[in-house]
């Protein structure tokens, strides 16, 4: 049941090469679409039918996003791929770029065809040098084979695709900050509305999707939306890449159907490291609220199940923590990240992320005060939902999650000026 979509070619030697991709049916969907001049609407409908939800973390239905663009509006439109994979714990898109770049290219060309765009950009995280080189090489191959450029396969449809290497800012993973960055400006999220579908790259209608989402498109169209949907469960169609890391034996990326029990995923990753006991799991990247291990062991890996438990499936970055971890220390590391990565535009996030970090750090270093936990509780409510983008929420949620499930460790730290564990 695993490795049927983005990782369908993972068993091959050097799967990133065009010939290997084609040997598994690569570019056949695109060829069919171009040869048979398939109606763009039917492509959008198929994606809608697949139940594919944005794999970057927000989980917005991809087909619905595509349908916001009016295909016949005059002027340039763009397809943008968000490969600025920066959420701590997430490293799945990197493997798509490294091992299956052609499937992403094919997905992007199809997306362009579906919305009437002739130009695309793949925004790749600044630190991803090897994936960037792989992707660039794949672009060359695709161009040479006539899958990119003018008049693709004699269809009259043009599509050019460029990669754009970021410069190391987490905030550029926010879609409008990413667009600003491509435009050569400082990466800061735009106020929305207008959404990118109406005012996107260079002010033109733009769809912007995650790497995994776009790379799923060729397989969805080849095997049908319904097939994809059936891989998963209600409201969580398809399979998904999970990057699992932490105190486990075999960290890595696994493609599994949505709805797979967490316990199975943990087992695939070799289980806990020897002698360690599962304490907690961050199920969807560092901004997802943490959940206690025993809660996680009862859950399946799909959008609804994780949401019901008070967290998010997010980008599918599963961080597994054993009982050697001090939760105050863990939160300090995470809060430091958001403090460093806030773009600084909105007051609550610019000032609040630094304040959160400093209070947590104070507690961690034994200088906490009894009233600090109430202060943290209160501060998070004044950051979340008060900013232009979701970074404020992302900084607040881990604090809220920690204080919900592990408040006793924080209280212990304040009282005894040292960790409860270790």
Partner 1 sequence: MSDDQMVTIEVDGRELQAKAGTLLIEATDAAGINIPRFCYHKKLSVAANCRMCLVEIAKVPKPMPACATPVTAGMQVFTRSPLALAAQKGTMEFLLINHPLDCPICDQGGECELQDIALGYGNDASRFVEGKRVVQDHNIGPLIATDLTRCIHCTRCVRFGAEIAGIRELGALGRGEHMEIGTFIEKSVDSELSGNIIDICPVGSLTSKPFRYSARAWELVQHKGIAPHDSVGSNLNLHVRRNQVMRIHPRDNEALNECWISDRDRFSYEGLYSDDRLIRPLLKKNDNWLEVDWQDALEAAAQGLKKARGTSGNRLAALLSPSATLEELYLAQKLMRGLGSENIDFRLRQGDFRGQEPEYPWLGQAIAELENLNAALLIGSNIRKEQPILGHRLRKAALEGAQICFLNSLELDLNYGAMQLVNSPAGMISDLAAVAKALGASGGMIESAEVGDRHRQIAEHLSSAARAAVLLGNLAAAHPDYSLIQALASAIAEKSGAVIGYLPEAANSVGARLSGALPGTGGNNAAEMLANPHKGYLLLGVEPGLDVWNPGKAMETLAQAEFVVALSAFRSHSLEQVADAILPIASFAETSGTYVNAQGDWQSFTGAITPAGEARPAWKVLRVLGNLLNVAGFDQMSTEEVLAEVRQLAGDRKPSSNAVDRPINEPTLKASGLLRVGDVPIYAVDPLVRRAASLQKTRDAITAAAGLNPNEAERVGLSNGAKVLVKQENGSAELRILIDPAVPDGCVRIPAGLAGTEKLGGQIGNVTLEKA
Give, as ranges, the residues between 315 and 334 that touch partner 1 (CB under 8 A). none
Give, as ranges, the residues between 175 and 194 that touch partner 1 (CB under 8 A). 186, 191
Residue 417 interacts with partner 1 (CB under 8 A)?
Answer: no
Contact 211, 83 (CB under 8 A): yes
What single string gives the DSSP state of each residue in 258-320? Answer: TTEEHHHHHHHTT-BPTT--EEEEEBTBTTSPPEEHHHHTT-EESHHHHHHTTS--TT-EEEE
Residue 102 interacts with partner 1 (CB under 8 A)?
Answer: no
The region of 79-87, 234-242, 266-274, 382-390 touching partner 1 under the rule CB under 8 A is 382-390
First-to-last alpha carbon distance for the chain, in angstroms, is 40
Residue 198 interacts with partner 1 (CB under 8 A)?
Answer: no
Binding-site member from 128, 342, 396, 412 for partner 1 (CB under 8 A):
342
Residue 284 interacts with partner 1 (CB under 8 A)?
Answer: no
Copy the structure tokens of residue 145.
């084979």
Question: What letters, b where the CB count within 10 A reaches 16 and e where it falls short, cover 150-167?
Answer: eebeeeebebebebbbbe
Residue 350 interacts with partner 1 (CB under 8 A)?
Answer: yes
The region of 19-27, 127-135, 275-283, 374-382 touching partner 1 under the rule CB under 8 A is 374-382
Minimum Å gap between C-beta 87 and partner 1 is 17
Contact 86, 127 (CB under 8 A): no
Complex with partner 1: residue 22 or 369, whichever CB lies closer: 369
Binding-site member from 339, 397, 399, 406 for partner 1 (CB under 8 A):
339
Minimum Å gap between C-beta 54 and partner 1 is 21
Phi, psi dihedrals of residue 312, rounded to the nearest 5°: -140, 150
**Site pattern 43..62 for partner 1 (x: CB under 8 A):** --------------------
> Of 243, 264, 246, 245, which Cα lies nearest the Cα of 254?
243
Complex with partner 1: residue 296 or 356, whichever CB lies closer: 356
Residue 375 interacts with partner 1 (CB under 8 A)?
Answer: yes
Residue 92 interacts with partner 1 (CB under 8 A)?
Answer: no
Minimum Å gap between C-beta 126 and partner 1 is 14
Minimum Å gap between C-beta 189 and partner 1 is 10
Q: How many CB atoms lie within 10 A of CB 50?
A: 28
Residue 362 interacts with partner 1 (CB under 8 A)?
Answer: yes
Residue 385 interacts with partner 1 (CB under 8 A)?
Answer: yes
Binding-site member from 271, 292, 310, 344 for partner 1 (CB under 8 A):
344
Binding-site member from 346, 363, 403, 414 for partner 1 (CB under 8 A):
346
Minimum Å gap between C-beta 403 and partner 1 is 17
Half-sphere exposure of 177 (CA within 13 A, CB side): 24
- At residue 91's C-alpha, the angle toward residues 391 and 161, to 5°, is 85
d(CA 208, CA 193) in angstroms, rounded, equals 15
Binding-site member from 359, 399, 403, 414 for partner 1 (CB under 8 A):
359
3-state secondary structure of 248: strand
Complex with partner 1: residue 37 or 186, whichever CB lies closer: 186
Contact 67, 207 (CB under 8 A): no
Beta pairing, strands 317-322 & 239-246: parallel
Complex with partner 1: residue 134 or 361, whichever CB lies closer: 361
Residue with tokens 């430091």: 336
* Per-residue DSSP letter, 253: E
Binding-site member from 347, 365, 407, 416 for partner 1 (CB under 8 A):
347
Complex with partner 1: residue 35 or 186, whichever CB lies closer: 186
Burial of 305 from C-beta contacts in 10 A (0-12 / 13-18 / 19+): buried
Residue 354 interacts with partner 1 (CB under 8 A)?
Answer: yes
Could you tell me how many residues of this chain bind partner 1 (CB under 8 A)? 31
Complex with partner 1: residue 135 or 170, whichever CB lies closer: 170
The region of 71-79, 92-100, 338-346, 408-416 touching partner 1 under the rule CB under 8 A is 338-346
Complex with partner 1: residue 60 or 191, whichever CB lies closer: 191
3-state secondary structure of 67: helix
146 φψ region: left (φ > 0), alpha (ψ -120 to 50), beta (else): left
Contact 2, 87 (CB under 8 A): no
Kindly list the residues in this chain that would bind partner 1 in the complex (CB under 8 A): 169, 171, 186, 191, 339-355, 358-359, 362, 375, 381-382, 385-388
């Amino acid at each position: 049941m695993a490795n049927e979509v983005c990782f369908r070619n993972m068993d091959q030697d050097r799967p990133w090469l065009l010939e290997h991709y084609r040997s598994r049916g690569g570019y056949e969907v695109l060829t069919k679409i171009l040869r048979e001049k398939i109606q763009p609407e039917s492509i959008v409908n198929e994606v809608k039918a697949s139940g594919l939800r944005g794999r970057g973390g927000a989980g917005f239905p991809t087909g619905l996003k595509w349908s916001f663009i009016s295909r016949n509006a005059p002027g340039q439109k763009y397809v943008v791929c968000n490969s600025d994979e920066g959420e701590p714990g997430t490293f799945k898109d990197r493997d798509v770029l490294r091992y299956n770049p052609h499937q992403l290219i094919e997905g992007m060309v199809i997306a362009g065809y579906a919305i009437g765009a002739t130009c695309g950009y793949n925004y790749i995280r600044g630190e991803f040098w090897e994936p960037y080189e792989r992707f660039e090489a794949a672009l060359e191959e695709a161009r040479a084979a006539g899958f990119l450029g003018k008049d693709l396969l004699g269809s009259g449809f043009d599509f050019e695709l460029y990669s754009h290497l970021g410069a190391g800012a987490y905030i550029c993973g926010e879609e409008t900050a990413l667009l600003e960055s491509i435009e050569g400006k400082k990466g800061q999220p735009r106020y929305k509305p207008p959404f990118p579908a109406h005012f996107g790259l260079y002010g033109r209608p733009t769809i912007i999707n995650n790497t995994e989402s776009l790379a799923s498109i060729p397989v969805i169209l080849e095997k049908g939306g319904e097939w994809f949907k059936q891989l998963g469960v209600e409201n969580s169609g398809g399979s998904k890449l999970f990057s699992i890391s932490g105190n486990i034996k075999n960290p890595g990326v696994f493609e599994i159907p949505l709805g797979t029990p967490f316990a199975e995923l943990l087992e695939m990753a070799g289980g806990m490291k020897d002698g360690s006991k599962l304490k907690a799991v961050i199920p969807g990247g560092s901004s997802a609220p943490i959940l206690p291990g025993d809660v996680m062991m009862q859950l399946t890996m799909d959008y609804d199940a994780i949401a019901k438990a008070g967290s998010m499936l997010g980008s599918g970055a599963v961080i597994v923590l054993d009982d050697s971890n001090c939760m105050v220390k863990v939160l300090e590391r995470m809060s430091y990240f958001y403090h460093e990565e806030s773009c600084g535009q909105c007051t609550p996030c610019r000032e609040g992320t630094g304040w959160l970090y400093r209070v947590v750090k104070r507690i961690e270093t034994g200088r906490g005060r009894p009233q600090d936990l109430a202060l943290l509780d209160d501060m998070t409510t004044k950051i979340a939902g008060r900013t232009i983008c979701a970074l404020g929420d992302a900084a607040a949620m881990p604090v809220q999650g920690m204080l919900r499930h592990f408040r006793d460790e924080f209280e212990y730290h304040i009282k005894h000026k040292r960790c409860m564990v270790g």
